[in-house]
Structure 1
Amino acid sequence: MKETKEIRQSTTDPDCGFMSRENKQEMFCYLDHRTTDMKFNIITDSYVTPGNVHDSVPYLSRLDRQTERFGFKVEAVALDSGYLTNPICKGLHDRNIYGVIAHRRYHPTKGLFPKWKFTYDRERDLYICPNKQELVYRTTTREGYREYKSDPKKCSQCPLLKECTRSKNKQKVVTRHVWEEHKEKVRLNRLSPSGKVLYKYRKEKVERSFADSKELHGLRYCRLRGLRKASEQVLLTAACQNMKKIATYLAKQG
């Protein structure tokens, strides 16, 4: 029997989606997925989705659209923590793009060891627990996660068992995505000197662009209903911002 999923739908605008995120107001809304260049802060792409679509979902397709349509030779990108997913890290690697993505804070189960307490041995392809016991590879799920499991006999005698797992069979399972190495590479990029400089520009560029849209161009609220009309409002706003940027630049050039 298939499980049913309850989806909230607005009675006044069925196209919008219900956004429910940590530390943000729950509401029906649309999301503007925006890209800006680092040099002049020109908006190169603005794509609207319902509020229940995660930021990472349309990213790679919108990146490809810009490179194909405008012939951009993208060397590096700076993204917030919502884009730190295995498919995006793998996609940036395949496109030979230097990715810098903010750290995402995970919330482990209270009272249990977080995943970073388990050390991955790349040469032997296994994890080592805080009590120096090995978790060996067992299988790969359909979602692409490799499962590493401990020996229940050894775990039953472990003094750290209560802090390690609450499984009835006293076995610890640690998962690792098949593309995890690409995510680890992105993490190293963020900590590098060039990565720190690049990410610093993000708040000065794309975050400033969003702030100007909301405070100076009335994009905090949708003026019309429907995805198409919301997209028109976003695109017109982006066009106005770009014209102001270009005019300012030309004025400085005399």
Structure 2
Amino acid sequence: MHDSQVLIPLMEKLRQKYLPEVVVMDAGYKTPAIAHYLWGNQMEAVLPYTRPRGKEGFFTKRDFMYDAWLNAFHCPNNHLLSYVRLNREGYYLYKSNPTLCEGCTLRTECTESRVYEKSLTRHLWEADLERSEDLRHTERHKAFYKKRKETIERCFADAKEKHGMRYATYRGLAKVTLQATLTYTAMNLKKLALWTWKKSCSSSSFFILRAKNDNPVFFSFWNCRFSTV
């Protein structure tokens, strides 16, 4: 299962307790469905730049300008790709006029179609993706995306380099899930200790972690003050 397929169920779970305002993601989550869901639920979708796809030496989709008024694409030679139909995957299909394409001087850079026809698709929620693309250039969204490498990517790096998460130790979904759960629990405890130490660092003392069975566990730290958790 691709990562992007689990994002919306995860956000629904988080929204039961929190009110997310900004969601920062990498290129794997840059899909029209995710952008539509986030903007539709009053959450800003911060997405990265992705390089244009396509065959080298040919025009990319970004070289074709979409005209919302005409519901058509303008090609680099200023001809129209008209709307044809909406397919089952939620994409609008646009095609050029073969008569015009056959004698076009830019055809060798546009399409290799034997019937001299250029086709493009546009998702019905493409506007939400374009909204994120426009805001990507703002200082606000640049600052948000910069924090991603300092927080999320740092967690992944620590898990792989310091906690053996580069490879699975066990086989089977249940055992690997257990390994991941224990690993990130240990990492969270390390963060808790670090944050508490930074918050109040003065003289040496103790702090207590009380388990569910009410058996206290004591930890001593030098030159740091901790409160009961």
TM-score computed with the length of structure 2 as normaliser: 0.84
1:57 aligns with 2:5: yes
In the alignment, what sits opposite 1:92?
A: 38
Query: How many percent of aligned residue pairs carry the same amino acid?
Result: 38
Amino acid at match of 1:62: L
Q: CA RMSD in A?
A: 1.2
2:120 to 171, 174, 181: 174
Give how far 1:74 is off: 0.3
2:14 to 66, 70, 78: 66
List per-residue Cα deviations over 1:139-198 (Å, max 9, x = no partner).
111111111111111111211111111112111111111110011011122211110000
Q: Please give the alpha-carbon distance, in whole angstroms, between the structure 1 residues aligned to 2:178 and 2:51.
A: 35
Amino acid at match of 2:121: T
1:212 to 158, 178, 184: 158
Q: Please give the alpha-carbon distance, in whole angstroms, between the structure 2 residues aligned to 1:123 and 1:183.
A: 19
1:195 to 132, 141, 159: 141
CA contact (8 A) 2:90 2:124 kept: yes
1:124 aligns with 2:70: yes
Give how far 1:215 is off: 1.6
Q: Please give the alpha-carbon distance, in whole angstroms, between the structure 2 residues aligned to 1:198 and 1:118.
A: 30
Which portions of structure 1, spanning 4 or more consecutive aligned residues, are displaced by more than 6 angstroms? none
List per-residue Cα deviations over 1:30-77 (Å, max 9, x = no partner).
xxxxxxxxxxxxxxxxxxxxxxx3221111111211222xx1110001
Give how far 1:107 is off: 2.8
Give how far 1:208 is off: 0.5
Asked which structure has the greater CA Rg, the reply is: 2
In the alignment, what sits opposite 2:24?
A: 78
Give how far 1:110 is off: 2.8
Amino acid at match of 2:122: R
In the alignment, what sits opposite 1:229?
A: 175
- Bigger relative contact order (CA 8 A; separation at least 6): 1
Structure 2: tracts of 5 or more residues without a match: 201-229
TM-score computed with the length of structure 1 as normaliser: 0.76
Amino acid at match of 1:152: P
CA contact (8 A) 1:118 1:129 kept: yes
CA contact (8 A) 1:152 1:170 kept: yes
Give how far 1:213 is off: 0.9
CA contact (8 A) 1:82 1:104 kept: no
List per-residue Cα deviations over 1:201-228 (Å, max 9, x = no partner).
0000000011111122121221211111
1:101 aligns with 2:47: yes
Give how far 1:246 is off: 1.2
Amino acid at match of 1:54: H
Give how far 1:108 is off: 0.8
1:142 aligns with 2:92: no
Q: Indicate the SS of the match to 2:117.
A: coil
In the alignment, what sits opposite 1:240?
A: 186
